[in-house]
Amino acid sequence: MGMRANVRRELVLQLLLTLWIWGTVRVTSPYGNNLHQKENVTHGQFAFTTQEAGNYLACFWVGGDNQGGGDVSVNLDWKTGIAAKDWESVARKEKIEGVELELRKLEGAVEAIHENLLYLKSREAELRTVSETTNTRVAWFSIMSLVSASWSQFCSCGI
């Protein structure tokens, strides 16, 4: 099970296994760094802020009474960006409620949109550079092909 992160953002992993089952969970970054590993887990929550863009991988190993086989129910909830923030604790900590809390949520959503737009803008610039380079190479290849074909025809006519 994986989650892709494009920019630096907070990810929250919530896990709930069935009651008589325990297992091991490990979260790995795109470059193979272990971000979280816990054994004998029946439920839990783990949050981290991504440092690398790419696919984050969550692996599960099941133990307990179910080692003989059968179905195992795993409820996994990946949350990213604004959805990953615990707004209840923010409200308690800063003693805010109602409209002010909703405004904070909207501010967080606007910041997330702005970050995504900046990321998309940088990717668009990279892709534009690649496209222009490719177009230049194709143009040079076409010119060289025409010169080569003309030269070949010129040489064959003279013989």
pLDDT in tens, the chain (159 residues): 555 555 555 555 554 444 445 677 788 888 888 887 888 777 777 777 777 777 878 787 777 655 556 666 667 777 777 777 777 777 778 877 788 878 888 888 888 889 889 989 999 999 999 999 999 999 999 999 999 999 999 888 765
- End-of-domain residue from the set 42, 58, 84: 84
Does residue 129 lie in a domain region?
yes
Q: Domain check: are 33 and 17 in the same one? A: yes
Same domain, yes or no, for 68 and 80?
yes
For CA atoms 15, 17, 19, 20, the dihedral sign is negative
E runs forming strands in 18-158: 21-28, 34-41, 43-49, 54-64, 74-80
Are 97 and 35 within one domain? no
Upper half-sphere CA count for residue 56 (Cβ side, 13 Å):
27
Q: Which residues contact 50 (CB under 8 A, 6 or more apart)?
A: 5, 7, 8, 9, 10, 11, 29, 56
Residue 147 domain-assigned?
no
pLDDT in the model for residue 103? 85
How many C-beta neighbours within 10 Å does residue 54 have?
14
pLDDT at residue 11, rounded to an integer = 53
Locus of tokens 């307990």:
64
Domain containing residue 46: CATH number: 2.60.120
72 and 94 fall within a common domain: no
At residue 18, the pLDDT reads 47
Total domains in the fold of the chain: 2
Whether residue 145 is contained in a domain is answered as no
pLDDT at residue number 17: 46
* Same domain? 70 vs 92: no
Whether 76 and 113 map to the same domain: the answer is: no
Q: Tell whether 43 and 31 lie within a shared domain.
A: yes
Same domain? For 103 and 44 the reply is: no
Q: Distances from the Cα of 91 to the Cαs of 13, 84, 95, in angstroms?
A: 22, 15, 5
Of 62, 84, 106, the domain-final residue: 84
Residues 53 and 103 placed together within one structural domain of the fold: no
- β-pair type (21-28, 54-64): antiparallel
Please compute, for residue 64, the number of CA atoms within 13 A of its CA located in the half-sphere on the CB side.
Answer: 18
Closest CA to 11 of 111, 101, 104, 82: 82
Residue 156 lies in a domain: no
**Residues 80 and 106 both lie in one domain:** no
Position 123 in a domain: yes
For residue 123, give its domain range: 86-140
